[in-house]
Structure 1
Amino acid sequence: MSPINHIILISGKRKCGKDFLSEKLQKRLGERSQIIRISEPIKSEWAKKRNLNLEELLSDGPYKEQYRKEMIVWSDEMREKDYGYFCRAAMSKANHDVVIVSDIRRKNDIKYFRETYGACVQTIRLTCPEAIRFERGWSFTSGIDDVASECDLDEYDQWDLIIENNNELNGEQIIDLIMTKFDFD
């Protein structure tokens, strides 16, 4: 198992490009990196609890959307008991030099990583205009887009890097920005 030297936390609203960016960064960094998703242990436990199709929950399709609100409520209840529960579960699979966490959604997620991993943690906030998110399939959903899972980091101001994903830069240019900002050697 390789020691973890870099943890890149990526945050942003739904349909802003977090997965796209994470996959591009992982591809650029190659075999020394891996993507971890906090949502994976959430969806895995939720699927077991409700006897649901895990693969469909992990996809970006309508199946996940019909359970999203209930999953958010349940995962928030779990976080009230132990704010690091899902972060710890996700990181149990981390075994590369660079770990990209593609779905940071709460201040307590950042708190967990900073307390646990210290100086190797770097944060990226990905922003995107609503019109572009809409083109990517997003539409505002009450109880989803106006709760902590989408809004808790709106006022957070300690990002190491903020990137506006507004189609002015292509994916490679965005990755170039990240590679310039963070020293992965």
Structure 2
Amino acid sequence: MFAPLLPSSLKAFVCVSGKRKSGKDFLTLKLASALANHFPDFDVSICSLSNPLKDEFACLRGIDAARLKGDGPEKERVRKEMIEFGENLRAEDSAYFCRKAFAQRLTIHKSADDSSNAEIVLVSDCRRPSDIAFFRRLFPTSVVLHLRVLCSLPTRQKRGFIFRSGVDDAESECALDEAEWDIVVENEEEEEKNGGKELERRIGEIVTELGTRMKNDTKKSE
């Protein structure tokens, strides 16, 4: 385990990106559980950049924000309008939703050491280079890992994906397509049929890679 060798003030970020219906949320939850087991002395939390957007849009429209945070038809009906609403706010302040999401992050594992400020934050839905840049700036000494979830179109379609012009060809879905990814995970239908063994193996590799980077980063700062 790397945790005992790391300072109690360390922050690390795993910025997850991927297309609609690629399984970003599913992978984020699986990874968070693995990180909590491997780094028990760290807080492990999840933040979603889309949650504050949905909260503000729902307030503006007078609808229940919870209906926008699931997979129901309400979210799809207003998705394009919601994207435009978010883009207008980002045009004025590119970090607007990043700040709100970080402040609202949900802690899913609490360190038993109350004196520790060490934390691993998983950002479940990064969409733009500016999102990842925000977390690099937030704690300049932190480790930031960009994790890309890949999934074929046929598998995404089986999960309910339907291409929508103005949504799936917009910046919110495409801005990180050509970015440099630190780790890539394929989340395909065949993997689900095989009991998720390959996915579990890849998650283990991500945990190891993050631990190595945190350890190396600590040595550089000594």
TM-score (norm: length of structure 1): 0.91
Counterpart of 2:188 in 1: which secondary structure?
Answer: coil
Question: Given that residues 148 and 184 in structure 2 are in contact (C-alpha distance below 8 angstroms), is that contact kept between their aligned partners in structure 1?
Answer: yes
Query: Across the two proteins, how many residue pairs are aligned to each other?
Result: 183
Is structure 2 residue 113 aligned with structure 1 residue 113? no
Which one of the candidate residues 85, 89, 99 is aligned to 1:78? 89
For residues 95-149 of structure 1, give each alpha carbon's deviation from its aligned partner in whole angstroms, at most 9, with x where no partner exists. Answer: 6711100000111111211222334211101111001101111111111100001
- Distance across 1 between alignment mates of 2:10 and 2:159: 33
1:79–1:177: structure 2 CA closer, same or farther, 3 Å change rule? same
1:113–1:72: structure 2 CA closer, same or farther, 3 Å change rule? same
- Mapping 1:117-132, distance limit 5 Å: 117-118=139-140, 119-132=142-155
Is structure 2 residue 179 aligned with structure 1 residue 173? no
Query: What runs of 5+ residues in structure 2 fail to find an aligned partner?
Result: 1-7, 111-118, 216-222
Question: Given that residues 4 and 99 in structure 1 are in contact (C-alpha distance below 8 angstroms), is that contact kept between their aligned partners in structure 2?
Answer: no
- Distance across 2 between alignment mates of 1:15 and 1:53: 23
2:164 corresponds in structure 1 to 141
TM-score (norm: length of structure 2): 0.77
Q: Which range moved further: 26-35 or 145-154?
A: 26-35
Paired residue type of 1:22: T
Over the aligned positions, Cα root-mean-square deviation in angstroms equals 1.9
Question: Given that residues 43 and 58 in structure 1 are in contact (C-alpha distance below 8 angstroms), is that contact kept between their aligned partners in structure 2?
Answer: yes
Paired residue type of 2:99: R
Counterpart of 1:103 in 2: which secondary structure?
Answer: coil
- Mapping 1:1-185, distance limit 5 Å: 3=9, 5-30=11-36, 32-94=43-105, 97-118=119-140, 119-156=142-179, 158-167=180-189, 169=191, 170=196, 171-183=199-211
Paired residue type of 2:32: Q
Q: Which range moved further: 110-119 or 135-144?
A: 110-119
Counterpart of 1:182 in 2: which secondary structure?
Answer: helix
Deviation of residue 4 (structure 1)?
5.6
Identity %: 41
Question: Given that residues 34 and 207 in structure 2 are in contact (C-alpha distance below 8 angstroms), is that contact kept between their aligned partners in structure 1?
Answer: no
- Distance across 2 between alignment mates of 1:70 and 1:3: 40
Question: Given that residues 18 and 103 in structure 1 are in contact (C-alpha distance below 8 angstroms), is that contact kept between their aligned partners in structure 2?
Answer: yes
Query: What runs of 5+ residues in structure 1 fail to find an aligned partner?
Result: none
1:91–1:123: structure 2 CA closer, same or farther, 3 Å change rule? same
Deviation of residue 168 (structure 1)?
5.2
